[in-house]
Structure 1
Amino acid sequence: MPQVPSRTLWIDYLRSFLTVLVVAHHSSLAYTTFARFDKVAYIRSTHPIVDNRCWIGLDIFENFNDVFFMSLMFLIAGLFVIKSIQRKGPGAFVRDRFYRLFIPFLIGGTILNLIAHYPAYLIAHGSAHLPAYIKDFFVVEQWPVGPPWFIWVLFTFNVIFALIYAVFAKKVSTPAGLPSPAYASPIKSAEEMASPAYAAADANLHPHARRPSGPSRTILLWFGFTFMLYVPFAFWLGPGKWTGFGPFDFQVSRAAWYFGYFLLGIWLGKVHFNEGIFAISAPLVRRWPLWLLMCAGAYTSLTITPPLLTDLVKQGSLSEFAGYLLYFSNYVLSATFSCIAFMTTFRALFKKPHAVWDSLSENAYLIYLLHYPFVIWTQYLLLGAQLPAFAKFVITFSATLLGSWLIAIPLRKIDPVRKYI
C-alpha cells in the first residue's frame, strides 16, 4: 500500500476512531443507570432498548463521549472544505455533498431506521404487525432520526458555507504585488515558496500556520471560543433541548457550537496546518501527554462537582445562576481539553499507516451509516441473557463494529454505492 501523507493519515485515523466511539456510545445506552423506556411513544425513551442490567461505569463513559466527540467530528469535517470548494467550484461542491451526504441521510434515516427501531415497537406493543409498525414509526414516533442527524446537519453546514464562499470569495482580492494565497494553487515551485514575497503573503494571510501560538494562549482562545458558542445557548434553551421535524432533528442548544467548530475546521484547513499549531514539533503537539492528563482531570471534575454545586445552591451559598455557570464552564473546559488531547495525541503518535486502521478509515462512513440496526437488534436479543451490563455492552459493541465493518467492505466495491460514499 502506498504511503499515505501524514497530513491525511492522522486526521483519517482520528475520524475513524471517533466513528468507533460513536458505535461504543450507542452500544452503552441500553445499560446506563439513567436509561428509561416509554411504552406509549418510545421516541421519548433515552434509547430504543433499555435493559434491566445497568452499570454506572457506562454512564461515565457515555457522558465523556457526549462532552466532545460530535463537536470534534464537525471540526474534522470542515478541515478540507475550502480546498474542495476551490478545486471543484461551489456548485460542483454542493452537488457532490448532496450525493455523499444527503442521499445517504435519506436512506439511513428511512430504511435503516425502520429496520433499527422495530425491536422497540415489539417491546412497546407486543405486536409484530408490520403495517401497524410502519404507521407508528411515521405518525406516533414522528420519524425517529437516530445517528443520521449528524449527516443532514453536516450537509446543511456545507451548503451554507458554499453559499457564503460563492458570494464573498470574488470580493476578496489579493493585495497588489503579492502572490495569490498559498491554498489557491496546490502546486508551487521551490523558487516561489522560497521567495520573500511568498513568505510575506503566507505569513500575513495565514499567521496561524507560520507563527503558531503558545499552548497556553491556544487553550485559552479555544476555551473562550467554545464558551461563547455553547454557554449562552445552554442558559437560554437548556443544555439538552432538541427540535426539528421528522428526521430533520437536531440539538438546538448546540447548533452554534457545532457550526462554530465546523468553521474552525475550515479556518485551520485553509493552509497546511500540520506546519502550524499541529506541526509535529509544535509545543502544543509535543505536550500531548499533558493534555491527556488535563482531559482526564477536567472530566473528573465535571463528574464529581455537580452534587457539590447542587448542595451549595440548596444551602443558599451559591445562586442558581452561579451554579449553572460553574457547571457549564467546567463542561466547556472538559470539551476543550478533550478535543486538544485527541488531536495532539493522534498527530504525535500516528506517523505510519497500518493495514487494519487503513481499512477502518476507508469504511468508517459506511460503518457510521450501518451500525444502528446492529446496536438495537443485538441489545434486543440480549435482553433475557443473564449477563452483567458490561458484558452485554462488550458483546453489543463487538458485534456491531464487526458486523457493520464486514458489510461495508464489499458494499464499497459496488459502483452505484461508491458514488455516494
Structure 2
Amino acid sequence: MVENRLYFLDNLRSVIILGVVVLHVAICYMMYPPVWWYVVNPVTNLYFTQLVVLVDVPLMPCMFFIAGYFALPSLQRHGVVSFLQQKTWRIFIPWVLGIVLLAPPTAFSYPYSRNMPVDLYSFWTHYFWTDAFQHSVYWFLALLFWLFVALTIIWKCVPALRNVTRTPAQAPLWLFPAVVGVSASCFFIALQFFPLDYWYVSYLLSFRPERLVQLVVFFILGMWAWKYGWFTQEGYRPRKRVWLPLFVLTMVIYLPVRLGFVASPIPLWQKQIILACAFTTYSIASLMGLCAVFSTWVNGKSAFWRSASKNSYGIYYLHAPIVYWLAYAFIPLAWSTYVKSTVILVLSMAASWMFTAGVLRKAPLLKRMF
C-alpha cells in the first residue's frame, strides 16, 4: 500500500504541473488578463477567463500538500544536515539559477511584445534587478525552500517532533472546517491591506498575501496526512461519492463569485468574505476530490506515468519562457485562440519534457537538481 500511495501522489503532481502550463497558456488568451502579464494575444476569449479562474485555485494547494506529506519522513530518514543539503540542491540552487538565467528573458517578453524601447541586455543587467524584478514561476521554489528551513528549525527546537511515528486514523470532523476557517480568515484579513491578486515581491520571497497562510496550512495538512496514515488501508481515504460532488459544487459557486467580484454592488467587506469562503472551500474540495480520484483510478506506474513523474519538475522549471515567446510568435497568425493555445500547450510541454529528459536529468550537476 505504501508503494501505491507514492505512485498516485506522484501522478497527481505530474497532472498539477500540466495544469500550471495550461494556466499560463490560457492567461495569454483570456479577457481581462493581469495588466502585467507577459504576452497577451490581441484577440481574447471569455472561455479562457473562466478556465483561468477555475484552474488557478487547486494547483498550489495541491503542490504544498504533497510537499508537506513527504517532508517529515524525509527529515526523519536523512537528518537535518542531509535534509537541508538535499533541499539546497533540489530547490534553492534551481531557484537562484531560475531567477538569474530564465526569469529575465521571460520578463523581457512584456516590454518586447509591447514595443517598448529597451533592449534585452539593458533589461537583463539593469531594469530587471530594479523596477522589473520578479521571481517568475520560481516564486514557488523560494516559498517552499523557506518552509523546509522553518520546519528544520522547529524540528531542532521541539524534540517531540523527532519521535513522531505514523498512527493511521480517520480525519476528525473538525479538521476540514478548521482548514477552511483559518484559510478564509487570513484571506479576508490580507485583503484589508492588499488588493486582490497583489504580488509581494522581494529578492528572497514572492507571494500573493491573501493566499500565503493557506499554502502554509496545506503544507501542514500534508504533514498531518502523513502522520495519520491517510490513503493507507487503516487511515483516512477520501471517498469519491463525498468529495467529487463537493468539488463540482464549490467550483460552480466559486466561478460566478470570482468573475462578479468587481461588478457586484454589495459592500466590499461582504464581497471579500464571500470570496474568501468560496475560494478556500473550493481549494480543500478540489484537493480531496483529486486525491479521491487519483488514489483509486490513477494509481499506476506505467512507463508514461514514470516518465511524467521524473520529468515534471523540469517541465515546471522550463515551460514559462517557451510559452510566452511562442505566444508572441503566434500573434501575427490568423488562427483562432483555441488553435493557438492548443499548439502552444503541446509544443511547450513537448519541448520542456524532452529537454528535461535529455539534458537536465543527464548533464553533470544538473541531474542532481532535476
TM-score by length of 2: 0.90
Residues 169, 229 of structure 2: 8 Å contact kept: no
Q: What runs of 5+ residues in structure 2 fail to find an aligned partner?
A: none
Task: Give the match for residue 189 of structure 1.
Answer: none
Residues 226, 336 of structure 1: 8 Å contact kept: no
Aligned counterparts of 2:257 and 2:219: Cα–Cα separation in 1 = 30
- Displacement of 1:377 in angstroms is 1.1
Matched, 1:34 2:32: yes
- Displacement of 1:53 in angstroms is 1.4
Change (3 A) 1:241 1:125: same
Aligned counterparts of 2:170 and 2:244: Cα–Cα separation in 1 = 24
Residues 109, 247 of structure 1: 8 Å contact kept: no
Aligned counterparts of 2:122 and 2:198: Cα–Cα separation in 1 = 29
Change (3 A) 1:325 1:126: closer
Residues 213, 277 of structure 1: 8 Å contact kept: no
Aligned counterparts of 2:294 and 2:234: Cα–Cα separation in 1 = 14
Aligned counterparts of 2:352 and 2:185: Cα–Cα separation in 1 = 38
Change (3 A) 1:91 1:277: same
More off after superposition, 20-29 vs 112-121: 112-121
Classify the secondary structure of the residue corresponding to 2:231. helix
Aligned counterparts of 1:410 and 1:319: Cα–Cα separation in 2 = 54
Task: Give the match for residue 267 of structure 1.
Answer: 224
More off after superposition, 334-343 vs 235-244: 235-244
Structure 1 residues 11-410: aligned runs within 5 Å: 11-35=9-33, 45-125=35-115, 129-139=119-129, 141-169=131-159, 182-183=165-166, 206=167, 209-213=168-172, 219-246=176-203, 248-275=205-232, 282=237, 284-285=238-239, 288-305=240-257, 314=265, 319-410=267-358
Q: Can you list the C-alpha shifts for 1:145-204, whole angstroms capped at 9, x where unaligned? A: 1100000110000000111001112x569xxxxxx6535xxxxxxxxxxxxxxxxxxxxx
Aligned counterparts of 2:28 and 2:191: Cα–Cα separation in 1 = 26
TM-score by length of 1: 0.80
C-alpha RMSD of matched pairs (Å):
2.6
Residues 142, 205 of structure 2: 8 Å contact kept: yes
- Displacement of 1:135 in angstroms is 3.6
Task: Give the match for residue 419 of structure 1.
Answer: 368
- Displacement of 1:289 in angstroms is 4.7
Classify the secondary structure of the residue corresponding to 2:108. helix
Aligned counterparts of 2:151 and 2:261: Cα–Cα separation in 1 = 40
Aligned counterparts of 2:115 and 2:303: Cα–Cα separation in 1 = 46
Change (3 A) 1:297 1:274: closer
Q: Can you list the C-alpha shifts for 1:246-302, whole angstroms capped at 9, x where unaligned? A: 4632212222111111111112122532226865xx4x32xx155233322222222
Change (3 A) 1:9 1:322: same
Change (3 A) 1:289 1:142: same
Change (3 A) 1:181 1:333: closer
Q: Can you list the C-alpha shifts for 1:349-394, whole angstroms capped at 9, x where unaligned? A: 1232221121011100111111111111110110111111122111
- Displacement of 1:403 in angstroms is 0.6
Change (3 A) 1:272 1:18: same
Change (3 A) 1:13 1:128: same
- Displacement of 1:305 in angstroms is 4.1
Residues 240, 251 of structure 1: 8 Å contact kept: yes
Change (3 A) 1:392 1:324: same
Fraction of identical pairs, as percent: 19
Q: What runs of 5+ residues in structure 1 fail to find an aligned partner?
A: 37-44, 174-179, 184-205
- Displacement of 1:67 in angstroms is 1.8
More off after superposition, 79-88 vs 116-125: 116-125
- Tell me which amino acid in the other structure corresponds to 2:6: T
Q: Can you list the C-alpha shifts for 1:94-135, whole angstroms capped at 9, x where unaligned? A: 121111101000111121123323333323345674422324
Classify the secondary structure of the residue corresponding to 1:89. helix
- Displacement of 1:212 in angstroms is 4.1
Classify the secondary structure of the residue corresponding to 1:147. helix
Q: How many residues align?
A: 369
Residues 253, 278 of structure 2: 8 Å contact kept: yes
Structure with higher Rg: it is 1
Residues 229, 235 of structure 2: 8 Å contact kept: no
Q: Can you list the C-alpha shifts for 1:49-107, whole angstroms capped at 9, x where unaligned? A: 01111111111111112222112211111111111111111122112111110100011
More off after superposition, 242-251 vs 123-132: 123-132
